[in-house]
Amino acid sequence: MKRLSDPQTETEISEIFSSLQGEGPHLGVKQIFVRFGRCNMHCGYCDELEKMKEEHFQVFSADALTTELERLESEKGSHHSVALTGGDPLFYAPFLAEFLPRLKAKGRLVYLETNGTLPRELSEVVKWCDIIAMDMKPPTSTGDRPFWAAHEEFLKIAIRKEVFVKVVVTPETAADEVKRCAGIVKSVNPKIPFILQPVSDPFGINTQALSLIEKEILPSISEGLFDVRVIPQMHKIWGVR
Ligand code: SF4
């Protein structure tokens, strides 16, 4: 396996594929997914842990990745956008600053999926992003530490572009932490779409998480936000990756 020699000119990718967006307000659009290798977080519900192992990484230069995406675009037909996902793409911000200008020069729409915890890295690449799908991470959902200040700083930068905020809800999620996420969104711009996503398990949508959303979370965040939606993850239901 080739190792990363320069984090500015090369990156680690675990997979590249054409599929449908399975989450959030752009549900169902056809995208090329570029899955970056590593992540700065450790969420208990993460379904990408296996792909985040170094043995699955392929090293790409900015030129080689651009060429591969153009090849997929011509092989699979036109796509709505290129979804940068992970892991967390912003873990590789120096590389993105090399790669994204090339992608924009090809006329591609850039859809950034991120855990919303790396504001400095976002500020380095936000000018090349078109849509930012930002997660907020209540510690009772993830089992990781809180990122409140980072989330707020991140959203204040992301608001320059189209942005929506997504919160994954598990049966362990504390309603007051989701309320705190909603409070950050309200303080930045109450019109930002706020998506509640009940966690999925191998049997489908987790019904305890859905019930928690319906009974405790929605009533506690209903005031002051203009666009709250409950949208489950659809990949597993559609049987696509
Ligand atoms: S932020 Fe996303 S990729 Fe990273 S550990 Fe959490 S769920 Fe997994």
Q: What are the CA-CA distances from residue 224 to residues 28, 37, 192, 221 (Å)?
A: 28, 37, 11, 8
Who's near 35: CB < 8 A, 6+ residues apart?
A: 13, 14, 15, 16, 48, 51, 85, 86, 87
What pLDDT shows up at residue 1? 64
The 10s digit of each residue's pLDDT in 165-179 is 999 999 999 999 999
Domains and CATH numbers, the chain: 10-238 (3.20.20.70)
Query: What is the model's pTM?
Result: 0.96
With a cut of 70, which residues of the chain have pLDDT below it? 1
For the beta carbon of residue 10, count every other beta carbon within 10 angstroms: 22
User: Which amino acid type is present at position 152?
Assistant: E
Could you say which DSSP state residue 58 is in? E
Q: How far apart are CA 5 and CA 35, in angstroms?
A: 19
- The minimum-distance atom of ligand 1 relative to the CA of 86 is 3
Pairing of strands 30-36, 81-85: parallel
Q: Residue 3, SS3?
A: coil
133 C-alpha to ligand 1 centroid (Å): 13
Give percent of the chain above pLDDT 90: 86
Q: Yes or no: say if 98 and 62 are a contact pair by the CB < 8 Å rule.
A: yes
Task: Kindly report the protein residue whose alpha carbon is nearest to atom 3 of ligand 1.
Answer: 87
- The minimum-distance atom of ligand 1 relative to the CA of 39 is 4
What pLDDT shows up at residue 204? 84
- Ligand 1 contact, 115 CB (< 6 A): yes
What pLDDT shows up at residue 84? 98
